[in-house]
């Protein structure tokens, strides 16, 4: 190598202090829908707000997700359980209205305008989804909810190779806001902040974008590799992500455990690595996304024919993340990740990377088991975790009379 990795990493970390530090877990185990990623569907104008599950997890589209996103964690400042319920009513009302779209009400010339008009006088739905989750800290002694916490909801575990920055960690609530265009995302977070002032306060926020297929298939991450090639789909996905464990609280049935990991990718350092070394670290070809023993992106790697890792190294990312054995089949998870760019750190290095988000029935059985296998993988020299958290996606809002967390707070 013609650059000292340790010197680069220490400089990058120092330069990021006080802003966005570094990055983290890269690709988890499971990735994006093959048919959708191949361009089978166009971006939708709107997604349903009501249903058994919240939108924004199994959302159809050309890559299984909208083009723009925001992950915003909040500290709840509501004073008691009743005020928390009021907050959840307000969040539901605003999310329902914004995902539906339409003209904002006219409050009269003597009042502040009902809407910022960032999207014009008629608010488009623009494929907006607002996915609301709760963190472990919401179940402390403030609201009397301790006995109702999902059984595996804890603060995010810190793994070896992580570089946690407290300003970017955890939160009582998390809003995952996704839409077809970034101005819709901005409009949404601004509207919600306006209507919930005094009841919750932003803790951290990061915006992401989805790369289109180039030239085809799945979009690429900022290391240049296709990001999302083996996500569970259809009934398999349903069986892996929605909580149906009778030992979980009754209110939590139909929800999902969400892991968000903020990743800094050390792109300047990565760009000095040979293509063969890059491909061996991933276990895939950079140009096509095919496994090293295959031809096409969606070919299934044959680890049985390569027991010593002569073709796909034993410590490659795809082999560690998803060994493809009967014993690891129920460890798969659904990922829905985005790229981000925060500009430059104070040392002049690019602050960009990956917002890793995944969903599962059991964060211990799925995410933590996968991530444990990935500890000390070769890719860790080029990515660093710095933030995010564990959250529980609330079950869906059934109808116009329902609201986020009703079964938990009633």
- What pLDDT is attached to residue 131? 98
**Domain regions of the chain by residue span:** 5-409
> Tokens 């460890």, residue?
331
Lowest mean pLDDT among 40-49, 75-84, 391-400: 40-49
Which tokens in the block code for residue 352?
């960009």
pLDDT digits (tens, 9 = 90+) for 2-42: 444 444 444 444 344 333 333 334 433 323 333 333 344 56
Give pTM, 2 decimals: 0.89
As a whole-number percent, the residues of the chain with pLDDT over 90 amount to 80
- What pLDDT is attached to residue 9? 46
Q: What is the 3-state secondary structure (H, E, C) of 299-368?
A: CCCCHHHCCCCCCCCCCCHHHHHCCCCHHHHHHCCEECCEEEEEEECCCCCEEEEEEEEEEECCCHHHHH
Residue 373 has pLDDT above 50, yes or no: yes
Cα distance between residue 95 and residue 50, in whole Å: 11
Spatial CB neighbours of 14, under 8 Å, sequence gap ≥ 6: 347
Mean pLDDT over residues 271-299, rounded? 97
Distance (Å) of CA 300 to CA 33, 34, 90, 291, 303: 14, 12, 46, 7, 9
The total of other beta-carbon atoms located within 10 Å of residue 161's CB is 17
Are residues 113 and 173 in contact, defined by beta-carbon separation less than 8 angstroms?
A: no
Lowest mean pLDDT among 59-63, 93-97, 200-204: 59-63
Confidence of residue 218 (pLDDT cuts 50, 70, 90): confident
Helix (H/G/I), strand (E/B), else coil: 40: coil
- What pLDDT is attached to residue 234? 85
Q: Is the dihedral of CA 100, 101, 107, 110 positive or negative?
A: positive
- What pLDDT is attached to residue 42? 61
234 vs 91, higher pLDDT: 91
Nearest to 27 by CA among 388, 304, 392, 377: 377
Confidence of residue 61 (pLDDT cuts 50, 70, 90): low
Cα distance between residue 46 and residue 48, in whole Å: 7
Residue 334 has pLDDT above 60, yes or no: yes
């Amino acid at each position: 190598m013609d650059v000292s990795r340790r010197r680069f990493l220490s400089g990058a970390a120092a330069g990021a202090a006080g802003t966005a530090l570094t990055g983290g877990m890269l690709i988890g185990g499971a990735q994006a829908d093959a048919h959708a990623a191949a361009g089978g569907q166009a971006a939708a104008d709107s997604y349903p707000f009501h249903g058994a599950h919240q939108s924004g997890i199994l959302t159809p589209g050309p890559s299984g997700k909208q083009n723009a996103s925001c992950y915003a964690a909040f500290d709840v400042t509501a004073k008691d359980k009743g005020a928390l319920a009021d907050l959840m009513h307000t969040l539901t009302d605003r999310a329902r209205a914004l995902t539906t779209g339409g003209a904002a009400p006219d409050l009269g010339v003597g009042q502040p305008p009902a809407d910022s008009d960032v999207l014009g006088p008629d608010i488009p739905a623009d494929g907006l989804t607002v996915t609301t989750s709760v963190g472990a800290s919401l179940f402390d002694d403030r609201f009397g909810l301790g006995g109702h916490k999902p059984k595996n909801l804890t603060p995010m575990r810190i793994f070896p190779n992580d570089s946690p920055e407290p300003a970017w960690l955890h939160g009582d609530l998390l809003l995952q806001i996704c839409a077809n265009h970034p101005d819709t995302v901005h409009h949404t977070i601004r509207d919600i902040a306006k209507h919930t002032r005094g009841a919750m306060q932003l803790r951290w926020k990061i915006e992401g974008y989805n790369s289109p297929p180039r030239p085809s298939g799945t979009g690429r991450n900022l290391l240049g590799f296709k990001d999302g090639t083996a996500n569970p789909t259809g009934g398999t996905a349903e069986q892996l992500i929605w909580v149906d464990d009778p030992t979980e609280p009754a209110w939590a049935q139909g929800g999902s455990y969400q892991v968000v990991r903020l990743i800094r990718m050390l792109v300047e350092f990565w760009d000095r690595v040979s293509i063969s070394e890059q491909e061996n670290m991933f276990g895939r070809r950079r140009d096509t996304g095919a496994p090293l023993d295959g031809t096409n992106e969606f070919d299934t790697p044959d680890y049985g024919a390569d027991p010593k890792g002569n073709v796909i190294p034993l410590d490659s990312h795809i082999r560690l993340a998803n060994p493809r054995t009967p014993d690891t089949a129920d460890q798969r998870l659904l990922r829905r990740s985005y790229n981000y760019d925060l500009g430059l750190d104070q040392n002049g290095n690019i602050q960009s990377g990956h917002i890793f988000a995944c969903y599962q029935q059991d964060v211990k059985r799925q995410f933590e088991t996968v991530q444990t296998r990935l500890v000390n993988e070769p890719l860790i020299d080029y990515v660093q975790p710095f933030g995010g958290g564990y959250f529980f996606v609330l079950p869906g809002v059934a109808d116009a009379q329902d609201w986020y967390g009703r079964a938990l707070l009633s």
